[in-house]
Structure 1
Amino acid sequence: MANRPNPAAAARAAMAAAANVTRGLEQVLTTVTDTGAKPDGRKQRWEKHKLARRTELTDGVIAAIRELGADVGMDEIAAHIGVSKTVLYRYFTDKSDVGVATTVRFFETTIWPRLTEAISDDVDEYTLTHTIIGVYVHAVDDEPNLYRFALASSPTSSPAPADSVRLVSQLVMSSIVMRMADRGADTTGAELWSHALVGGIQHVVDWWMTSRTLDADQVVDYLTMMVWSAIVGVASVDGSRDAFLAAPPPLTEPAREAPSDAGGGL
């Protein structure tokens, strides 16, 4: 594979690009729109202090949820941290805002580092697919109280903030583009495919965390089965929309064992 970019370098480039877009997840979610006025140094220092204090309180909220469970109330959270509920609401607008903050913090400190480490490994495409899906599913499975608290607090059907989804999609897209370019394939659909993969897996995990009809390893394997089948299909036409539409891969017949003649028959 001549001239293949280093996977770790590609991952770092994706992180840098994502950081330029978001300017940091917490800042995007909490910063008030700039009015164009001249920057006020004292105000900027205060905003920086508020952000640091909000992060500190968010870590306290996470500790409370881990110890007290997903159904913990704001009074219990405040008592566990050692502050009044009034102090909490000085930094969070409501419980939904607390849910967003905990999700962002969990993403920044747990999911994102694990994903970037996994995607930096120079492994074959199947192993990479299975590993990335496993990282996300098991990270969530390791913290069910945090996820359920965020899900219950979310004003939407998912606790994942749009900025975190975009970050992961950009990271996945960088890997898709790198590996498809290695094959000389058409990468026009890479951004769409990355959003489809990340969004689909996110919604599956949201559903699974409330239903729990399968264990974590089963979720990883079934998701890998679906995603890998899609990857094989895309690779079979080198990413070309025209080639795919001209000759869609046929649905194969299931393999069946030949009937046995043992024991005779009628």
Structure 2
Amino acid sequence: MPSRQSTAAAARAAITAAAAATKGLEAALRATADPAEGGLVDGRKQRWQRHKEARRTELVDGTLAAVREHGPEVGMDEIAAHIGVSKTVLYRYFTDKNDLNTAAMVRFIETVLLPRLTEVLVDDVDEYTLTRTVIAVYVETISDEPEIYQFVTSSKSASPSVLADSEKLIAEVVAFAMHARLGDRGLDTDGFQTWSYALVGGVQLATHWWMQDQALPRSALVDQLTMLVWTAFVGIVEVGGSASEFARRDHPLPQFPSDATAPPA
């Protein structure tokens, strides 16, 4: 079992990576909203830019509050009225509703989802508990905010680079934690980013599918995702994290439970 110090170090690395990724995500979003910005700026322009960013953040927070109260189909008029500004003010800071949707997505990840994920990474628990907890936190955070989720995923023309960076943000947090955990065990960690992106992408897509009609209980979704991710993790550990060792071995299917209980022919 990794020491408490190594677990804390993994958490710090994950949080540092997340903070850096968030800054890059915010920068990409600002560039999308205001491509004319750039180059050298004087002190007065820097102060105005900081004010503009702070005001934009206030408006996004107000938008999230409006969505929670009025639902994901809330329009710009209702958002402006809820915040207590004119619609003209919103269009001063956001080019259109899709721009506002994207900003809301970034803000939700930054202030709600990411803090919850990084918090559980600090826990000094075994790997199975950590795996299940991270999956549960992700699913619960999304499903506890269905209005926000529907609102932030309804943008039809959000910047592809911003959307990709938002997904990368979560994957990089998991990647840093996975690298530290596997490294502490002395395993080959060459594939840690591949595994993290594949696992996070799969969990995200499955959760997105589930959010459409929630055809099974949330606990069942967490159970099924945990089974998938954990068995993948066990398979990685069994070969020491080495893709070449995995390729060298034979891979017969294990005996099915029905085969073990069937009477002899």
TM-score (norm 2): 0.89
Q: Do the aligned partners of residues 42 and 238 (structure 1) sit closer, same or farther apart at CA in structure 2, a change above 3 Å counting? A: same
Match of residue 174, structure 2, among 166, 172, 180: 172
Task: Report the counterpart of residue 111 of structure 2 in structure 1.
Answer: 109
1:125-183: per-residue Cα shift (whole Å, max 9, x none)?
11111000000100011100000011112436x9x833332222222112211221222
In the superposition, relative to structure 1, how do residues 145 and 178 fare at CA in structure 2: closer, same or farther (>3 Å)?
same
Shift of 1:39: 2.3
Match of residue 100, structure 1, among 72, 84, 102:
102
Pairwise CA RMSD = 2.4
Task: Tell whether the 8 Å contact from 1:233 to 1:249 is kept in structure 2 after alignment.
Answer: no
Gapped runs of 5+ residues in structure 1?
Answer: 261-266
Corresponding position: 1:241 with 2:243: yes
User: Quick one: which amino acid aligns to residue 189 of structure 2?
Assistant: T
What's 1:148 paired with? 150
For residues 185-217 of structure 1, the C-alpha deviation after alignment (integer angstroms, 9 at most, x for no partner) is 110000111111111211222222223212221
Deviation at 1:94, TM superposition (A): 1.1
- Could you tell me which of 84, 89, 92 is aligned with 1:90? 92
| Equivalent in the alignment of 1:6 | 6
Deviations 1:67-124 (A, max 9, x none): 1111111111111111111111111111111111111111111111110111111111
8 Å CA contact 2:2–2:181 kept in 1: the answer is no
- 1:167 alignment partner AA: L
- Following superposition, the deviation at residue 12 of structure 1 comes to 1.4
Look up the match of 1:48: 50
Provide the identity percentage: 53
- Partner of 2:132 in structure 1? 130
Count of equivalent residues: 259
**CA shift at 1:258, angstroms?**
3.6
Higher normalized helix content (fraction of residues): 2
SS of structure 2 residue aligned to 1:152: coil
Q: Which has the higher contact order (CA 8 A, sep 6+)?
A: 2
**C-alpha distance after superposition, 1:212-260 (max 9, x if no partner):** 2122211111111111111111111111111111114322122136469
Q: Give ranges in structure 2 of 5+ residues lacking alignment.
A: none
